[in-house]
Amino acid sequence: MKSEHYFTENPTSPLKLRTIQLLYKGRILKFLTGGGVFATENIDPGTALLVENLVLKGNERVLDMGCGWGAIGVAAAISVPKGSVVMTDINKRALDLARKNTRTAGLTNVEVVPGNLFARLEGERFDVIASNPPYRGGRELILRFIDEASAHLETGGRLVIVGKGTQGIIFYQHYLKERWKSVEVLGRKSGYRVIEAREPLT
């Protein structure tokens, strides 16, 4: 039997709720996490690096793809007080935690949407799509996410992803360079890279 992982619609592992904290822009944010969800014990270092390097304008519309318990989406919502954030994930337990964490943070500019990648976002467009993608879902899934992202970006919009060498981030960086006009590394740390892509060629 294949072991369960976070890219699962209905996790069956024990929930085991716990609270973790994240310092963001001088504010201590509290998050509920739990079993069956990515990064149960603490914020993933890749996610933390993405949050640290994600620069947003106050009125942008942001998509947190594969939101998990919501670290990227909550940070983004704080950074776009006149904008909005959509958080989506296939994992129903993650979505429940993300909803609770947005309420705890007192955010009203966030919508949490269930779905597998862009399945529930037809016709939706964003200024920024940010993600620590579900690498355990396999390369085919990550490439599908990258390919579909271009149709959901406004003109001049940005795709921002993070990953490490063992997850194939260098491969995905080259893949993006072949298909997007501008690709740059926003940050590096402990083998992780935050990659920003603009202007898809197709």
- Band (9; pLDDT cuts 50, 70, 90): low
User: What homologous superfamily is domain 44-200 in, according to CATH?
Assistant: Vaccinia Virus protein VP39 (3.40.50.150)
**145 classed as catalytic:** no
Active-site residue identified among 101, 126, 132, 134: 132
- Band (17; pLDDT cuts 50, 70, 90): confident
Summarize the confidence of residues 1-23 as an average pLDDT.
Answer: 67
Q: Is the pTM of this model over 0.75?
A: yes
Question: What confidence tens digit (pLDDT) does each residue in 96-133 have?
Answer: 999 999 999 999 999 999 999 999 999 999 999 999 99
Summarize the confidence of residues 151-176 as an average pLDDT.
Answer: 97
> Shortest CA distance to 12 belongs to which of 23, 20, 4?
4
Measured between alpha carbons, how far apart are the two ends of the chain, in Å? Answer: 40
**133 classed as catalytic:** yes
Question: What confidence tens digit (pLDDT) does each residue in 37-66 have?
Answer: 777 778 999 999 999 999 999 999 999 999
